[in-house]
Chains A and B, each alone.
Chain A
Amino acid sequence: MTFRLTCPVCGARDVYEFRYGGQERGPRPEQAQLSSDEHFRWTQFRMTRPEPQEEWWYHTGGCGVWFTTWRNPATNREEPPHEVERG
């Protein structure tokens, strides 16, 4: 299995040059009124839908930059987000 990712510094490169950094999940929620369930969902819960998702990647074999990109896990292609984003 292989595919390419687009580093903002280096351009399109083989995925084996990158390290996966997980889904982008927004800023850490405020702790003050946070329920344990909400805390659990933010720290542990991940989407597994076959549609584009925003992800963090690290160009470990190249320029050493962290960046986000949208990838469709069903096709392993970079793909812009679908129009209606889920909250």
Chain B
Amino acid sequence: MTTPSLHRQSPVVFDATPTKLEPQDGWNVARSYPQDSTLDSPRLIDLSHRPRWDYQDSCLDEKSPFGLHVPPRPGEVAIASGLIISRMNRTQVSIGSIGFGAPPDTPPDVGYTDTTDSHCWLAILGKNTPTVMECVSSLDLFFPERITPFLTQGPVLHVPCQVVTMETDCILISFSRGYGQTFVDALLHSASDTGVQVGGEQMFTDWVAEKYGAT
């Protein structure tokens, strides 16, 4: 009898064979897929292994979780030190790691909840990203008067989601882990006319590096 090694498992499995698969903090991360060399069609990228937290405090405006400035109004998003911080409501922000370096440890303050294992986190990348999102949600994710990046909380494929519009060519979506596999299956099917296909994490980190530098 063999003892299984401890590992974490993404809530989604893509029907494709990665060309580069690397272990990271107990996760197997698909860095690239064979078709990743050109961004000629939109890509669906799994970011579920990247650390996420919720932070909550009744006096949120006086706090600075991970040393970050808290955006003053719900829907506002800031990016600093490799972290993205999204204001959800009066008392809560969600924080995620989009940078390259090692993510910070969870501080001992009771306001933090590590939500990495409870969420599925995806990116849609590429110039037809708005068309992909139109196939799966009626939310207005590209309202021209809003300043990117910004957060929208609402249904995508009828699943309550946090959606961050980074730019016209990049959307981040997070939601409860249990919806993960059916969510990606439905998205790839619903938006198949756009040519959407799965992509490796490297495409996302390259996009972040180009946009924000080696954060």
**Residues of A that sit less than 8 Å from B by CB:** 9-10, 13-14, 17, 59-65
Q: Please, which residues of chain A bring their CB within 8 A of the CB of B155?
A: 17, 61-62
| Contact indicator A62/B74 (Cβ below 8 Å) | no
Task: Report, nearest first, the 4 A-B pairs whose CB atoms are least far apart.
Answer: A61-B155, A63-B153, A62-B153, A62-B154
| Contact indicator A13/B154 (Cβ below 8 Å) | yes
Question: What CA separation (Å) do A47 and B158 show in the bound complex?
Answer: 32
Question: What CA separation (Å) do A10 and B89 show in the bound complex?
Answer: 9
Q: Of B89, B138, B158, which is within 8 A of A63 by CB?
A: B89
Q: Of A9, A14, A62, A64, which is within 8 A of B138 by CB?
A: A14
The distance from the CB of A16 to the nearest CB of chain B, in whole angstroms, is: 8
**Residues of B that sit less than 8 Å from A by CB:** 74-75, 88-89, 138, 152-155, 158, 160
Question: What CA separation (Å) do A19 and B171 show in the bound complex?
Answer: 27
A-B contact pairs, 21 of them (CB 8 A): A9-B74, A9-B75, A9-B88, A9-B89, A9-B153, A10-B152, A10-B154, A14-B138, A17-B155, A59-B153, A61-B154, A62-B153, A62-B154, A62-B155, A62-B160, A63-B89, A63-B153, A64-B89, A64-B153, A64-B160, A65-B89
Q: Please, which residues of chain B bring their CB within 8 A of the CB of A62?
A: 153-155, 160
The distance from the CB of B174 to the nearest CB of chain A, in whole angstroms, is: 14
Question: What CA separation (Å) do A30 and B109 show in the bound complex?
Answer: 39
The distance from the CB of A57 to the nearest CB of chain B, in whole angstroms, is: 15
The distance from the CB of B122 to the nearest CB of chain A, in whole angstroms, is: 18
Question: What CA separation (Å) do A59 and B89 show in the bound complex?
Answer: 12
The distance from the CB of B176 to the nearest CB of chain A, in whole angstroms, is: 12
The distance from the CB of A60 to the nearest CB of chain B, in whole angstroms, is: 7
Q: Please, which residues of chain A bring their CB within 8 A of the CB of B154?
A: 10, 13, 17, 61-62
